[in-house]
Structures are given as structure tokens and as C-alpha cells.
Structure 1
């Protein structure tokens, strides 16, 4: 299994927590490979992450993204070049990598990812989940805002057929989309993904593969009460701690916050801090 991460130095601890949870919940995955796209993570920090992964039998491949790729990119504080990394990953990752699973670092993996990894994309290039199925109003707003007809996909978990994506994705298309639609973009990279590649994306169940922990009550209501905490722990693979407030913040309040802190404490102990 190939995992893809894109982050900066500030997210290294959450990244390790996420990876720790992945290794614990996916012991059947032998010799997984972790690709990390970054711009300026110090070598010492990368060596620490490499050793951390090696402790679980995983191989880390850090890739320092060349600045030349972004010479024509619209960049600013709101649009840092790092936001383009996952969108342009098919152009950056080694040619021999044929499929990759992108994961945001603000997640816990609590069940096996193998069923998602082997998902038949049915001619699509990507697979992702939409959170907006929780409310039709939000879905309609995003469709009007971005002039799309499909569901609004969350790009925090993306399965990518890299061979197909290399024939579809271009830096020019991505940069042009940002320039031409700057006023419409709220979550820039996610919005761009939906505008350019939503039609080539296979929908997968968010309740299994990209569970927005802020919406526990809505999931419960939508399932007529069946998707309670016990169901989530038995069935959901990815818990996504969406939003600005994160579970490692002191003022975080959510039913899943304690679970995150448990995993974080295990990781910190493993690191010997």
C-alpha cells in the first residue's frame, strides 16, 4: 500500500499520530510505503520520521518539491504553494508508483484501509467521499458556487489512479482555475479539485472512509440511530477531525477528542518524550 502525505514541519506530530493509528489498525499491511511531499522540513526531522516509520516496517520516501514547478502559480498567504501538492502529486511522484492513497494528517485510522485501497474505480481517476450528503442544502450551495453537478467531495482522503491522473492533471489547468475563480474559492485546493476533477471521481461512503467527527449527531440521525459510537468503532476506517479547532488543542470538545488524545499519548510515549 502506498500512502501520500503533504505537510510542513508544524504537522509532524499529528502526522505521526495518524501513522501510528494506521499501523495499529492495519497490521496485515506488509512493507507499506509513505510518500511525503514537502518544501522545507529539516533533514533531522525527516530522519526522525523515517526511523518512526521503519519501526513499523514501513518505508518513508520524502520528496522535496522543486520550486520551479510553481513559477507560474498564483501564490499568497491564502494560496501557499503547499496547497497545490496533493493536486499535482501525479506530476511529482515517481513514475513507477501506480496508485496512492492520500491522507490528511488530522485523522485517526481505526479500521483496515485495504477495502478502500483495492476499490475498483470503474473508469474514474479518483475516489473520495462527500460530507455534504448530510445536508442537501450544503450540497446545492456548493454546486451553485462552483458550477458543478456532482456531490462536493472532501479531499482529505483520496484514492488516486496515478497512471490515469498523469494523463489528466496539468499544472497549467490547476493554476488557471485558481486565477480565474479566486473569488469563488473558499477551501481553495478542495474547491479546485471539485471543479476540475469531480466528474472523474468515484463517490465512496464518508461514514466509512472520511467520517467528519463534527457531524456525529447528524450521522446518527441519518442512520435512524444505528450508527452510534459502537458502530463507528467497529466499521469506520477514517475519523477526520475537520475544521480549524483540532483535538490537540486545549479547548477542543468532541466525543472523539478523548480517543484522539489516547492515540496521541501512545505516540508520544513511543517517541520517548
Structure 2
């Protein structure tokens, strides 16, 4: 039997639609790969979960649902900027069963347009995480974030990560996360991402953003930085994960960049699949 790739998602009910689109793209472009999807949530309805289960059964993907008790993170600082879901990915070592050794965490606002297998097999080199930085054209944000967070390395995007779950179980402490938020809440712009960089940035392996975490807002920067090599044809053949960072999201009618049409294609594909299940 083939080993399954473990995919982690942590979200609330409002992101189930984008999650289905993302998983449709994962299925469509990884037909020879088996997946186990771990969904960690607090209050998604049974009806919505059954709908997701039906779709993933059609895709021949295994769905594992972990419902977090409402009192589990009762001491956590929470607000609109600190939703509980942000803790689930950082604390996944405490939530996933011991049998899970490694996961790929994926934000739902992504598309997987080529094989993800190489990311699953990446050499972590002893690190807890593997993630990409979004450096833009000049990388000026690196310096700003270093000053803001008191760090001296690249600023990693937490939307796509490989997590060594075995290491996370022993090294990621939920109280450290709580303390960081309580002490530095006035300086945190993207709370979960800031906390991840502040606490675990030195234990993170950098992976190429143009391949594994392509910011769809920055296509001109990628093109310029590569002296014209990373054009649309290059992206189609080399990029694996498109990340629709920022707003408007591609499912919003206000979105109209060069990657919106591709997203809508997978959205329509999902609709046709669901009509025939």
C-alpha cells in the first residue's frame, strides 16, 4: 500500500467553500497520490461535515475530523484578531494522534496546480517547520519585520507549512504562544504568523516561495526579480501552490487579477463534481 500524505487544515464553517475548491485542485493535479485530510475545528455543523465527507469520498481522500472542545483554549487570548483556529495549527502536535509524524498545513485560499509530493518529502534538516518568505521585489518588509519582532531572519508566511509533528509535540508549548500574545499584542499585525516567526523562526527551513507559496499579488515582482524567466508559462510548469493572499479573495466578484480565472475554473469544476455525486 502507498503511504498517504497528511494534509492539515484548521478553519471555521465560513471557509468550507474555499476549502473544497482547494481540495478539488489538489485532487485534480495529484491523481496518483493518496491523501489523508485532517480537519481541526470547533463548531462546524454535522451537515456541513457530511457534505465534505461525501466530496472527499468521491475524490478517494480520507477525511479525519478533530473537534476541539470549547474549553480547550479557554485561557487563550482571543478576539477578532486572535481566532481560536490560529492556535490549532501551531498546537497541532497536541491535537493530532501520535501516529501522525508530519503534515503539510494548507490555508484554504490556495490552489495546488502541480504535484505536491516533493514538498512532502522535503528534508527538514532538523527543523520543526518548513515555510516560504514573501520578499517582494526589494525585500524591504524583512527589515521592518525584524525591527518589529526583534528577529534577524526572513519573515515566514504561515499559510503553507510542512510541520514535523513529532518535534512540535515536544518543542511547541501553548503557554509560550499565550505569553507572546499577552506581552506583544500591540505589535502583532498578523498574530499567528507573527507568533510563529517570533517563537519558531529560527527552527524553520526556508523553501522557495515561487514554487511552494506563490503570492498571486506579486506576479510582476517574481517576473522582474527573475529577469523575465518566471512568466506565466514558467508558473504553469513549475509552481505548485498558488496563494491568494490579501483581499479581495478570488471568489469575490471584485477580484479580477490574472489568477482569478484559474481559481474560478476550479470553482466551476467543483460545482460540476458536486452536481454528479
The equivalent position to 1:192 in structure 2, one of 195, 198, 205, is 195
Q: Distance in 1 between matches of 2:150 and 2:194?
A: 11
**SS where residue 246 of structure 1 aligns?**
coil
Task: Kindly state the Cα deviation for residue 170 of structure 1 after the two structures are TM-superposed.
Answer: 1.1
Task: Kindly state the Cα deviation for residue 91 of structure 1 after the two structures are TM-superposed.
Answer: 1.0
Q: Distance in 2 between matches of 1:70 and 1:134?
A: 39
The equivalent position to 2:12 in structure 1, one of 8, 15, 23, is 8
Aligned to 1:81: 84
Q: Give the conservation status (yes or no) of the 8 Å contact 1:110–1:237.
A: yes
Q: Is the counterpart of residue 36 in structure 1 residue 39 in structure 2?
A: yes
Q: Distance in 1 between matches of 2:18 and 2:83?
A: 20
Q: Give the conservation status (yes or no) of the 8 Å contact 1:35–1:61.
A: yes
The equivalences for 1:129-140 within 5 A come to 129-132=132-135, 134-140=137-143
Aligned to 1:206: 209
The equivalent position to 2:154 in structure 1, one of 151, 154, 164, is 151
Q: Is the counterpart of residue 120 in structure 1 residue 123 in structure 2?
A: yes
TM-score normalized with structure 1 length: 0.97
Q: Is the counterpart of residue 18 in structure 1 residue 27 in structure 2?
A: no
TM-score normalized with structure 2 length: 0.96
Q: Distance in 2 between matches of 1:49 and 1:76?
A: 28
Q: Which stretch shows the higher mean deviation, 123-132 or 61-70?
A: 61-70
**SS where residue 68 of structure 1 aligns?**
coil
**SS where residue 89 of structure 2 aligns?**
coil
Moved beyond 6 Å, runs of 4+? none
Q: Distance in 2 between matches of 1:239 and 1:186?
A: 23
Q: Give the conservation status (yes or no) of the 8 Å contact 1:109–1:237.
A: yes
Aligned to 1:181: 184
Task: Kindly state the Cα deviation for residue 133 of structure 1 after the two structures are TM-superposed.
Answer: 5.5
Task: Kindly state the Cα deviation for residue 78 of structure 1 after the two structures are TM-superposed.
Answer: 2.0
Specify every segment of 5 or more residues in structure 2 that has no aligned partner in the other structure, as ranges: none
- The Cα offsets for residues 182-239 of structure 1, whole Å up to 9 and x where unpaired, read as 0110000000000000000000000000000000000000000010001001000000
Q: Is the counterpart of residue 244 in structure 1 residue 250 in structure 2?
A: no
Task: Kindly state the Cα deviation for residue 265 of structure 1 after the two structures are TM-superposed.
Answer: 0.6
RMSD: 1.1
Aligned to 2:113: 110
Q: Distance in 2 between matches of 1:11 and 1:140?
A: 32
